[in-house]
Amino acid sequence: MADDPLALFDIWFAEARLSEPNDPEAVALATADAAGRPSLRMVLLKGHDARGFVFYTNLDSRKGNQLAANPYASLLFHWKSLRRQVRIEGPVSAVSEAEADTYFASRGRNSRLGAWASDQSRPLSDRATFEARVEAMRERFGAGDIPRPPRWSGFRVAPQRIEFWCDRAARLHERRLFERDGEGWSEGLLYP
């Protein structure tokens, strides 16, 4: 097995992409506000490398506000088809403007319009209001370029702790824990 948790994640993620029927990049993101009250939701992993794991959102959303107040998060991948999960914890930082612009430009046109139209996590009186805002954005931008909204960007979770969990018979699961140790990683096992 790999001694580098990022290399091991790459292996598991590639296997999940082959076996998971829906959204292998779906990940539960846990954040907490300044008072420590937690919140959990699903997001999509949009990139990962030695620097960390990237997702994008509206900066004025609940998660965006929580990360501004408490820049630390946990991620949980659960690949049911493989009977595996990966837990990642670490500090969070903003991606660069260039990274956010590049990813935003790769999104479908309707998704880009929706990012402009949505006041993510804010109360919405009815669906028709949102649909009207999307149409207003469609008219505003016409067939032209749709730039990234100023309130929309990405975050990178820099892993300090990564746990790999494998389901085993009789609930005798296997848990490998990697923790950041200077420039490298220390590794150990956890009881199931």
Q: Which residues are annotated as catalytic?
A: 171
Q: Pairing mode, if any, of strands 184-190 and 152-157?
A: unpaired
**How far is the C-alpha of 43 from the C-alpha of 27, rounded, in Å?**
6
* Percent of the chain that is helix, strand, coil (3-state, to 5): 30, 35, 30
CB atoms within 10 A of CB 18: 9
* Alpha carbons 80 and 6: distance in angstroms, whole number: 20
CB neighbours of 70 closer than 8 A, spacing ≥ 6?
Answer: 31, 32, 33, 34, 36
Classify the phi-psi angles of 106: left when phi > 0, otherwise alpha if psi is within -120 to 50, otherwise beta: alpha
